[in-house]
């Protein structure tokens, strides 16, 4: 018996994803566990495997389109099944017509200017997120026409109402402000799903999390000497960042009040020091996680980070490899950046921004000298962590960096 294949929730709390490409064509047989399509989430490219054997009878969603989770994307025929009434299968599931044949509708301008998306029976086709946003903003869904598959009301339709009203109110001024200079040339590059998610999450973080910042200058001479000694005999070369990950994890274990995140009902304290490491990719920033970094050797951390970074840039990470960290490290030292402040990676409560190591003049016991110094800046969620707790953690981190053997004993 024919059955619908729905867009899966590849990543936790994902509302949509993009079919990068179909691995099977209509009419091809597929085995249970065989890749049906490659689906791109905001952070990775995932192979979507078939749950059961059959024939890919009908593709309902084109590759390259952003599809909401739970939307039918294909019809799977049973082996030997022919003359399937696709329309009947869709109707039985409450779907009016295939996504590939759905007419593209313009986004609504104002609620009063568009037609209803309700069926004759009065039922509204709207995503749960669109319903919640409409309720929060006092928008009557009966006055909104959806631009999603089969006329379904989606988030962008609700957003467009507010945006259109705001733009209309200030159109004369805005038009003059953003008009490009005569003859100016530009190219518009469409946002990827990953870039959209990064923008949304960082905007929410900066707008909703009360950040405060602490900085420290770490003397690196002992660490640099130890690193040189290790790398002289070790088959795997250890980086400064490996030491930083190890020191941060050790400080989290020694100061568990820092290894937390804020929720509306409770403060969540983590047992393991799971360190997220910011990795730059062509699509944007991703933060694969080194689990229980405090219990791992420098060589194990080095090997794991190298592997995670390589697969992150190839979009080959699984969701469990980039979700669930308790603390993030963002290192721009290799680019010569002296110091910077990073935005917290929610739901975490802190992130450490690491600058370059450079030769600087220092005073030790009244004597002027030259030393290798690295400046770090800790961004902290003040809801979850008090200033004194953050200062104590930063002092621990600084001590571990300046006396690196203490993290290895």
The verdict on whether 382 is a catalytic residue reads yes
Quick one: which of 134, 141, 130 has its CA closest to 68? Answer: 130
CA 216, CA 373: separation in Å to the nearest integer?
A: 10
CA 276, CA 333: separation in Å to the nearest integer?
A: 17
Quick one: which of 401, 348, 344, 347 has its CA closest to 376? Answer: 401
What residues have CB less than 8 Å from 300, skipping those under 6 apart?
Answer: none
User: Which secondary structure element, helix H or strand E, spans residue 300, and what is its range?
Assistant: helix 298-313
CA distances from 165 to 111, 142, 162, 168, 365 (A): 10, 18, 5, 5, 65
Catalytic annotation, pick one of 191, 211, 382, 403? 382
Quick one: which of 120, 117, 109, 106 has its CA closest to 150? Answer: 117
Say how many C-beta atoms besides its own lie within 10 A of residue 184's C-beta: 7
CA 136, CA 92: separation in Å to the nearest integer?
A: 32
Q: Is 364 exposed, middle or buried (0-12, 13-18, 19+ CB in 10 A)?
A: exposed
* Phi and psi, residue 218, nearest 5°: -100, 130
What residues have CB less than 8 Å from 127, skipping those under 6 apart?
Answer: 15, 68, 148, 152, 153, 154, 155
Dihedral angle, C-alpha 51, 54, 60, 64, nearest 10 °: 60
Buried (b) or exposed (e) across 277-286, using 16+ Cβ within 10 A?
A: bbbeeebbbb
Beta-bridged to residue 37, according to DSSP, are: 22, 48
The set of catalytic residues is: 382
């Amino acid at each position: 018996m024919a059955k619908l294949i729905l867009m899966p929730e590849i990543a936790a709390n994902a509302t949509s994803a993009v079919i990068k490409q179909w691995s099977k064509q209509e009419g091809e047989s597929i085995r249970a566990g065989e890749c049906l399509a490659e689906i791109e989430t905001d952070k990775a490219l995932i192979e979507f495997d078939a749950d059961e054997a059959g024939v890919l009878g009908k593709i309902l969603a084109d590759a390259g389109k952003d599809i909401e989770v739970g939307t039918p994307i294909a019809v799977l025929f049973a082996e030997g099944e022919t003359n399937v009434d696709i329309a009947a299968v869709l109707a039985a599931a409450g779907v009016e017509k295939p996504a590939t044949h759905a007419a593209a509708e313009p986004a609504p301008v104002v609620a009063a200017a568009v037609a209803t998306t309700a069926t004759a029976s009065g039922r509204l086709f709207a995503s749960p997120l669109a319903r919640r946003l409409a309720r929060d903003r006092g928008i009557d869904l009966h006055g909104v026409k959806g631009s999603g598959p089969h006329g379904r009301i989606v988030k962008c339709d609700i957003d467009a109402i507010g945006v259109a009203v705001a733009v209309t109110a200030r159109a004369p001024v805005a038009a003059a402000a953003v008009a490009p200079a005569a003859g100016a040339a530009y190219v518009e590059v469409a946002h990827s799903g990953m870039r959209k998610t990064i923008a949304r999450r960082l905007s929410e973080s900066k707008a909703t999390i009360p950040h405060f910042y602490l900085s420290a200058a770490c003397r690196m001479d002992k660490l640099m000497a130890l690193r040189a000694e290790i790398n002289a005999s070790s088959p795997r070369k250890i980086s400064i960042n490996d030491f930083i990950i190890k020191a941060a994890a050790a400080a989290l274990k020694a100061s568990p009040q820092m290894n937390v995140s804020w929720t509306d009902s409770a403060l969540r304290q983590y047992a393991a020091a799971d360190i997220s490491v910011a990795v730059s990719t062509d699509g944007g920033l991703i933060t694969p996680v080194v689990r229980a970094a405090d219990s791992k050797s420098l060589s194990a951390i080095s090997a794991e980070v190298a592997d995670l970074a390589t697969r992150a840039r190839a979009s080959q990470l699984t969701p469990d490899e980039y979700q669930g960290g308790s603390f993030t490290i963002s290192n721009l030292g290799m680019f010569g950046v002296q110091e910077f402040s990073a935005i917290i990676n929610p739901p975490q409560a802190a992130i450490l921004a690491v600058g370059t190591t450079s030769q600087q003049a220092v005073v030790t016991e009244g004597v002027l000298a030259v030393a290798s110094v690295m400046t770090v800046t800790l961004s902290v969620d003040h809801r979850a962590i008090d200033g004194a707790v953050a200062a104590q953690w930063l002092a621990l981190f600084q001590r571990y960096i300046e006396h690196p053997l203490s993290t290895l004993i």
